[in-house]
């Protein structure tokens, strides 16, 4: 699974991943606050259900020791405008019925 580091409103990079692990040491290589980064790591989720298919539990295992950070080239970043334009034909056909 891949996560993008997000810049906070105050302009600095967040010092933790979405799962709450402290990644300050690993972020030393992340030194460009204007760039976008991908975080790669291993994650496993187990879901427990009842006999009648009701979700009763979830366990998440995250291998924090194997996080990898990759700086993206500007051309590899999909902006909101690009995503909106590419998804517009599909969203136009979508219904709420």
Q: What percent of the chain has pLDDT over 90?
A: 32
Distance, C-alpha 78 to centroid of its chain: 14
The answer, yes or no, to whether residue 14 has pLDDT greater than 80, is: no
Q: Provide the number of structural domains found in the chain.
A: 1
DSSP state of 23: -
First to last CA, the chain: 32
User: What are the backbone dihedrals phi and psi of residue 63, each rounded to the nearest 5 degrees, phi first?
Assistant: -85, 85
- 45 vs 93: CA distance, rounded Å: 32
Residue pLDDT, tens place only, 20-42:
545 545 555 667 778 888 888 89
Return the closest-CA partner of residue 37 out of 54, 13, 63.
13
Distances (CA, A) of 51 to 23, 54, 57, 76, 77: 40, 7, 13, 45, 43
pTM of model > 0.85 = no
Residue numbers of the domain that contains 82: 2-93
């Amino acid at each position: 699974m891949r996560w993008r580091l997000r810049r906070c409103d105050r302009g600095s990079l967040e010092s933790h991943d979405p799962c709450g692990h402290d990644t300050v040491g690993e972020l030393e290589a992340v030194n460009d606050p204007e760039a976008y980064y991908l975080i790669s790591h291993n994650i496993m989720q187990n879901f427990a259900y009842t006999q009648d298919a009701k979700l009763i539990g979830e366990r998440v295992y995250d291998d924090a020791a194997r996080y990898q950070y990759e700086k993206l080239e500007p051309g590899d970043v999909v902006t909101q405008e690009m995503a909106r334009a590419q998804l517009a034909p599909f969203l136009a056909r979508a219904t709420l019925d």
